[in-house]
């Protein structure tokens, strides 16, 4: 009987010891988790203080603001309408550039380049037209193929080529020689002048009557032509 009682005491002691170990282990785990959470919060706080010093917007505020804006944008069903009051001045000023468009091509088909900094459109082989249909006058130009077969088609124009003013407006036009070595420009009812690359020639007039006022380059007809549309005064 004494031996059995001793055995029970030993078993009970072992169970108590095991339960104590389990409790201690659980306490360590919980403490570690709490410490990790605190460390994570401290790291986030340190990062926030580094990127957003005291007095500035915090990460939490930015996130909340982003959510609010996203919710507002998703729930918004009406577009915002703004009222713009246009300038009522009768003095109109425009800058008109002399430019040309170029269609570059080749009598040989283009070859793909895998070492170029950017892709180049692969054009098929193109021959200059045998019987050209472009009008004469200098506004269009076709160059003959060079030694490597390259040729181009050029078209001169004004930019902008159409303006709108009101009857009675004082109109000022600044003609700028950007492309093309030489131009001879006329403005209906105003006058004619020469314009070379790098030059600016300015003319002014009052648009007394409704209708169309043309400005043309006599060197590059028939396509280098612009127009000013003069709208009639509204009846009051």
How confident is the model at residue 2, as a pLDDT?
Answer: 46
Order of strands across the sheet with 225-231? 162-166, 225-231, 211-217, 182-187, 191-196
For the chain, give every domain's residue range.
Answer: 2-66, 91-231
Give pLDDT, residue 26: 56
pLDDT at residue 14, rounded to an integer: 54
pLDDT one-digit tens code per residue, 88-130: 899 999 999 999 999 999 999 988 888 888 777 788 999 999 8
User: How far is Cα of residue 225 from the mean position of the Cα atoms in its chain?
Assistant: 30
CATH class of 91-231: mainly beta
- Is pTM beyond 0.75? Reply is no
H or E element that contains 46: helix 2-51
Rounded to whole angstroms, how far apart are CA atoms 155 and 140? 5
Give pLDDT tens digits for 136-194. Answer: 999 999 999 999 999 999 999 999 999 999 999 999 999 999 999 999 999 999 999 99
């Amino acid at each position: 009987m004494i031996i059995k009682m001793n055995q029970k005491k030993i078993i009970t002691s072992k169970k108590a010891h095991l339960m104590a170990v389990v409790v201690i282990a659980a306490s360590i785990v919980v403490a570690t988790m709490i410490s990790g959470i605190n460390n994570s919060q401290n790291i986030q706080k340190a990062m926030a203080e580094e990127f957003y010093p005291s007095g500035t917007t915090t990460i939490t505020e930015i996130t909340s603001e982003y959510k609010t804006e996203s919710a507002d944008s998703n729930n918004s069903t009406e577009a915002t309408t703004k009222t713009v009051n246009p300038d009522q001045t009768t003095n109109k000023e425009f800058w008109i550039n002399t430019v040309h468009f170029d269609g570059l091509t080749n009598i040989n088909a283009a070859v793909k380049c895998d070492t170029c900094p950017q892709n180049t459109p692969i054009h098929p082989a193109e021959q200059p037209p045998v019987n050209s249909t472009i009008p004469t006058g200098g506004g269009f130009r076709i160059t003959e193929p060079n030694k490597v077969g390259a040729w181009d088609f050029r078209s001169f124009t004004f930019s902008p080529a159409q303006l709108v003013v009101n009857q009675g407006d004082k109109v000022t036009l600044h003609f700028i020689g950007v492309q093309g070595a030489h131009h001879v420009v006329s403005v209906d009812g105003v006058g004619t002048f020469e314009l070379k690359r790098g030059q600016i020639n300015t003319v002014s007039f009052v648009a007394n009557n409704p209708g169309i006022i043309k400005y043309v380059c006599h060197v590059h007809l028939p396509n280098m032509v612009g127009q000013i549309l003069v709208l009639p005064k509204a009846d009051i």
